[in-house]
Amino acid sequence: MRDVGEVALLEEISRLVPARAGVIVGPGDDAAVVARSSHPLLLTTDALVEGVHFRRPWLSGWELGRRGFHVAASDVAAMGGRVRAVLLAIAAPPTWPAAELRGVVRGVRAAAARAGGALAGGNLATARELSLTVTVLGDAPARPVLRSGARIGDDVWVTGSLGGAAFGLRLLLRARRLPAGETARRWWRRPVARLRAGEALAAAGIPTAMMDLSDGLAIDAGRLVRGSGRRVVIEAERLPLARCLAGLAPAAARRLALVGGEDYELLFTAAPRQRAALARLHAGVAFTRIGTVAAGRGLVVLDGAGRPLALPRGAGHEHFRP
């Protein structure tokens, strides 16, 4: 950033972020001013740290910004909310190219705008390692969908497909040059917060509990029922596998779908009587019924014959280490 200078860069970024409906005062003043809302508010923040959550060669600035937005906004989707305003805090070494910074800002801005929100402000700090902290302010639905409402007998559902991000990450880590590599890597690079689905589900009053899948189904499903005397039972053959896993052995694909993280799909529970309503709900993404909520604790995954599958101990996504 040294090539441009922080003050000039901040001014340029202010121009990159024009006033939008709902944002009364954008970047450049002490704080952003956002129009009042008749809804309760959702507030969430998420960080992407170089060497922990990404490596620089894996993503363009634009993709990094886009990813930062979707990872943070996914938490708004998981409450059934709508994105209103976004803050972007960047910490970066002075040697980081200004073009990359502009790309990050544009990536966040475009993704926020697509979601109906606006990049309203942020912060730029010098640091040794590159990181993005994205904060999203959203409107909550009348009844925000919490993690804690799953009932015995509920169905367990997921949006979209699973395992694609973990497979893409694996290819990035190993720098493998597979024929389908670029497509697969994109599954990791370009997560999509399921905002439309989350909002539609909450508006229809369908989910009893909902969360987004960041650490992998095996870990996250356990969180839905922790301490509640309930257990999640998943039928492995029902798992919707990402298309990019098609070339893998079934067991390997299933493993990625179960313990691979960063899919940012929604996991939710709903009463069986909601199946018809779910079949009618159009939210631009598939809903797949993958199991049920039963009495007990933790998570059980059943194979096609109804036998419990062994899950690796501590199964779930672990961040790669620098």
Positions that interact with its own copies (CB under 8 A): 24-25, 28-47, 49, 51-53, 74-76, 78-79, 81, 85, 87, 89, 91, 120-123, 125-129, 131, 133, 135-138, 140, 144, 146-148, 210-212, 319, 322
CA–CA gap between residue 252 and residue 258 (Å, rounded): 10
Cβ nearer to its own copies, comparing 47 with 204: 47
- Coil, strand or helix: which one is 197? helix
Q: Residue 170 Cβ, how far from its own copies at the closest point, in Å?
A: 20
Cβ nearer to its own copies, comparing 131 with 184: 131
Q: Residue 85 Cβ, how far from its own copies at the closest point, in Å?
A: 6
Long-range own/partner contacts, residues 24-29 (CB < 8 A, 24 or more apart)? 26/118, 26/119, 26/120, 26/121, 27/119, 27/120, 27/121, 27/122
CA separation, residue 242 to residues 172, 256, 311 (Å): 17, 10, 20
The answer to whether residues 258 and 202 touch, using CB atoms and an 8 Å cutoff, is: no
Cβ nearer to its own copies, comparing 93 with 250: 93
Residues 6+ away with beta carbon under 8 Å from 274? 155, 206
Residue 281 per-residue DSSP state: -
Q: Residue 302 Cβ, how far from its own copies at the closest point, in Å?
A: 26
Cβ nearer to its own copies, comparing 44 with 183: 44
Cβ nearer to its own copies, comparing 5 with 272: 5
Cβ nearer to its own copies, comparing 92 with 162: 92
Q: What pairs with residue 123 in β-bridges? A: 89
Q: Residue 24 Cβ, how far from its own copies at the closest point, in Å?
A: 6
Which amino acid belongs to residue 84?
R
Q: Residue 134 Cβ, how far from its own copies at the closest point, in Å?
A: 9
Q: Residue 118 Cβ, how far from its own copies at the closest point, in Å?
A: 11
Q: What pairs with residue 308 in β-bridges? A: 302
- Coil, strand or helix: which one is 264? coil
Cβ nearer to its own copies, comparing 45 with 284: 45
Q: Residue 44 Cβ, how far from its own copies at the closest point, in Å?
A: 4
Which among 236, 230, 201 has a CA at the least distance from the CA of 217?
236
